[in-house]
Structure 1
Amino acid sequence: MVFNRKIDAFTLLLLFSVMFSFGQGNFELPGKQQDKIRFELINNLIVIPVEINGVKLSFLLDTGVSKPILFNITNTDSLQMNNVETIFLRGLGAGETVKALKSKNNFLKIGNAININQEIYVVFDQEINFTPKLGIPVHGIIGYNLFKDFIVEINYRSKVIKLNRREDYTYKTCKKCETFTLSFHNDKPYIDGEVILGEDTLLVKLLIDTGSSDALWLFEDDSHGITAVNNNYFHDFLGRGLSGNVHGKRSKISAFKLKNFTLNNVNAAFPDSSAIKHAKRIENRNGSLSGEILRRFNVIFDYENAKMTLKKNANFKDKFRYNRSGIVLEQHGFRMVKESVNKKSVDNYGRSNDDNITISNVETYRMGLKPAYTIIEVRENSPAEKAGLLKEDIVVSINGKKAHELKLQEVIHYFRGKVGKMVRLKIERGGQIINVEFRLEDVFKKKELPN
């Protein structure tokens, strides 16, 4: 059984491809027909609580992964892994294989669902760490092992997952729903759809990938007519694969169709062919369908019956936007911040003055460690580059708001605003505070030709 995994963060991205032997335990819901699990939705990615051998962790829920992968375990020294052996994994990028451990007979608990005999793969490469990209601790990814044992409902609006025992589940009549037949390769679900590129309508076979924050990935193929439309694209860093960085083109396609559902002016990424050679080995695969599209639906996965049901939610008509600043931001460590605690009136002896007679005002401060939001990439010819921003600059404030008082994704949201929107940053560089401002630009704006 081949294990092939992709995550794209910011787009987050991680692809594994490795051989596994079959045989694992099953998840059960003792004494229950259904269980509800609340999740965090960050950059279109689902983060759920997972308990492994008594230790509480956070995992990405990813239909593109066949075995649980554990990483970022430096702060979980109490975690006991059972029956380990060494293996090597290969994924996206041009680098070498990565050393990992395969561990058997582990206890997993997700909500009230338990599995007493789960294989887990442990990767120690410190570069494989989604915490800086999402701004919250993430320790691993899980997919097929959970989906195969339940009928799984995902409500992206209420941020709730329902795990339903198959034998107790009854489908409700839904006139506004569409049900799709899934095919499976290496325990991963594929769906057929249509992309409209220019004037051409093309049938495509796509991996359903809840572990990717993009809308669509399309594998360029001249014989199938899949190319970035009319050269209307820009080159970008797509993410880091297990075996190195992945770059490619970002573009727009006219429309994407799933039966009677039609989405217009959809974002599409076209990864470099050298980075996806392993993923393209799946017969007739043309790309991936991911979180930016899936979040527009309520989704029901029924792996045993090889089907998926979709119903539009309130996100359906949201516009597809790109980062118009050219900044890729991550949380890297912490910075010391001076914060005001309160202001009180005191007399000349330092005593509190309750008689409304102000003798002197004393401002009380405290120093604390706050997240440091660091620029890790600046896209060429972007507004950020033109304004002089550099890698390793730390964002101190954005449009007058202190960065450390915002979540990482709230800061990034400013970079996806309307064309022409002014962005004012205070950044820290080499211990100095520098003011920078720029306007967001259309990422597809045609470049002026030199004279």
Structure 2
Amino acid sequence: MNEPGGVENIPFELVRNLIVIKLKINNRGPYNFALDTGVGYMLITEPSLIDSLGIESKHTVKIHGLGEGNDFEAYITSPLKIDLNGVVSSNINAAAFTKDHFGLSAYAGRTIHGLLGFEFFSQLAVKINFADNRLVVSVPKDMKYYKRAAKIPISIEDRKPYLTTRVTFADGTIRQSKLVIDLGAGHFISMEHLSDRDKLQPKHIRASLGIGINGPISGYLSRIKSVELGKYEVKNVIAAFPDNSQAPAATPRDGNLGIGLLKKFNVIFDYPHNVLYLKPGSGYKKRDEHDMSGLTYYSIMDDDLVHIVIDKVEPGSAASDAGLKQGDEIEMIDTHAVGNMSLQQIDDLFQSRDGRPFFLLISRGKKYVPIRLTLKRRV
């Protein structure tokens, strides 16, 4: 994107581990986009946006990545003018989906129109302050860099940032691992070689690992001993081990470093100088927790009413023990109506404390069913 005049401050919302910003396209909007360093192209994932903007197609590309579905095609748009709080570019091509393959809006509980990656970061220094949900954006020479921060070399390959670092697995094995730095991935770290499963600690679970470009990602969750990030060593890290082997890519890699780890720090991406700066934030020493309910759920709107629908119940989880089922709708958690809660607030409750009890009121068909759910740490 074009250089800003001086330093720009851009607010963001952290929604289920997505950094959501507002931008305008061709002087229309604003629209909600998630920052995602793991995508090479700007992606328009909400098909209705194509029609409302009258965007023309130039040619098609095949999109592939982790997930259980097949590759699919998107089309490259004509050049777009993107305005992000005064940071403007008039020559951005996006890959536009004719079908919503991600389900980002249902996942986030609000409309998400797309993902913004390389185009935003390529010429700028971008500081991400997770404590006050603020981006600071400037040309590198105007950026106020953190004192005593870890200064980590990165490479920009296939329009994505990579670092190489030491990962220590549960069995003590140490490996230099090349990881794509992926702000759009909600996990802590994902190790993508199937052979890494030999390094799972005894306490591990089958789990839904999220949604990739090609659909749901399943696999295992475990903990690894540590990940080095410059001069910092983050210990006892929750790690994902997807079923799928690494998707075909221009740049071979060992895994994926997600926002779960990154948000322990205040972060500066400096693509022009191939550097990532990390300074420990308020959550640096906090114990990492995974969902303790065993539920995967999403949000749908119907006549201005919010419905929280259970999509999956993990076997052997607290939710399975309590008798919850796919398709159940959560109406209340304790005394709180879920229509007045964000999905992030529900996530926080279900990650809060091993053994914590909840009363859930469930809508199942035409009946209301009371459920007693007691959280159970699984990893």
> Under TM normalisation by the shorter chain, which class is it?
over 0.9
How far apart, CA to CA, are the structure 2 residues paired with 1:72 and 1:85?
A: 18
Mapped partners of 1:170, 1:424: distance in 2 = 49
Asked if the contact 1:212–1:291 (Cα under 8 Å) also holds between the matched residues in 2, the reply is yes
2:6 equivalent in structure 1: 33
Q: How far is the alpha carbon of 1:322 from its aligned partner?
A: 0.9
Runs of 4+ in 1 over 6 A off after TM superposition: none
Q: Which residue of 1 is the match for residue 215 of structure 2?
A: 244
Per-residue deviation, residues 6-60 of structure 1 (Å, max 9, x unmatched): xxxxxxxxxxxxxxxxxxxx4232xx21111000012222011111112221111
Q: Aligned partners of 1:150, 1:334: CA distance in 2, in Å?
A: 41
Does 1:78 pair with 2:46? no
Q: Distance in 1 between matches of 2:264 and 2:179?
A: 17
The question of 1:438 aligning with 2:373 is answered yes
2:349, 2:91 → 1: CA distance?
Answer: 45
Q: What secondary structure is seen at the aligned counterpart in 2 of 1:438?
A: strand
TM value normalised by structure 1: 0.79
Residues 6-405 of structure 1 aligned to structure 2 (within 5 Å): 26-29=1-4, 32-56=5-29, 57-74=31-48, 77-166=51-140, 168-169=141-142, 171-172=144-145, 174-175=147-148, 177-198=149-170, 199-220=172-193, 222=195, 227-274=198-245, 276-279=246-249, 282-283=251-252, 285-334=253-302, 369-405=304-340
Instruction: Give per-residue Cα distances to partners, 1:345-374, cap 9 Å, x unaligned.
Output: xxxxxxxxxxxxxxxxxxxxxxxx321011
Letter in 2 for 1:144: F
**Matches of 1:324 and 1:173, distance apart in 2:** 35
CA contact (8 A) 2:57 2:75 kept: no
CA contact (8 A) 2:47 2:100 kept: no
Residues 228 and 270 in structure 1, CA contact (< 8 A), matched pair in contact too = no
Q: CA deviation at 1:170?
A: 5.2
* Farther off after superposition, 76-85 or 421-430: 76-85
| Counterpart contact for 1:228–1:249, Cα < 8 Å | no
- Percent sequence identity over matched residues? 26
Task: Count the aligned residue pairs.
Answer: 377
Which runs of 5 or more structure 1 residues have no equivalent in the other structure? 1-25, 336-368, 445-451
Matches of 2:57 and 2:15, distance apart in 1: 34
| C-alpha distance 209-435 of structure 1, shift in aligned 2 (>3 A) | same
- What secondary structure, in the 3-state scheme, does the structure 1 residue paired with 2:261 have? helix
Shift in alpha-carbon separation, 1:172–1:326, aligned structure 2, 3 A: closer
1:418 and 2:346 matched: no
Residue type of the alignment partner of 1:301: F
- When the two chains are superposed, the root-mean-square deviation of aligned CA atoms in Å is 1.9
Q: Distance in 1 between matches of 2:145 and 2:167?
A: 30
Is this contact kept in 1: 2:158–2:251, CA < 8 A? no
SS of alignment partner, residue 437 of structure 1: strand
**Once the two structures are superposed, what CA deviation does each residue of 1:406-438 show, in whole Å capped at 9, x if it has no partner?**
111112222112111112100111121110012
How far apart are the structure 2 equivalents of 1:227 and 1:116?
Answer: 49
Asked whether the 8 Å contact 1:28–1:113 carries over to 2, the reply is: yes
1:127, CA displacement in angstroms? 3.5
Deviation digits for residues 254-307 of structure 1 (CA, Å, limit 9, x no counterpart): 222213212221110001134x3325x633x21111101111111111111111
**Structure 2 vs 1, CA of residues 376 and 172 (structure 1 numbering), >3 Å: closer, same or farther?**
closer
With structure 2 as the length reference, what TM-score do the two structures score?
0.94
Gaps of 5+ in 2: none
Superposition deviation, residue 227 in structure 1: 3.9
**Helix, strand or coil: the match of 1:115?**
strand
SS in 1 for 2:132: coil
Of 112-121 and 187-196, deviating more is 187-196
Check conservation: 2:50, 2:96, Cα contact below 8 A: no
CA 172–252 in structure 1, closer or farther in 2 if over 3 Å, else same: closer
**Would the alpha carbon gap of residues 428 and 145 (structure 1) be closer, same or farther in structure 2, given more than 3 Å must change?**
same
Q: Which letter does structure 1 place at the counterpart of 2:116?
A: I
Which residue type is aligned with residue 11 of structure 2?
Answer: R
Q: Give me the whole-angstrom Cα distance separating, in 2, the residues matched to 1:93 and 1:297.
A: 28
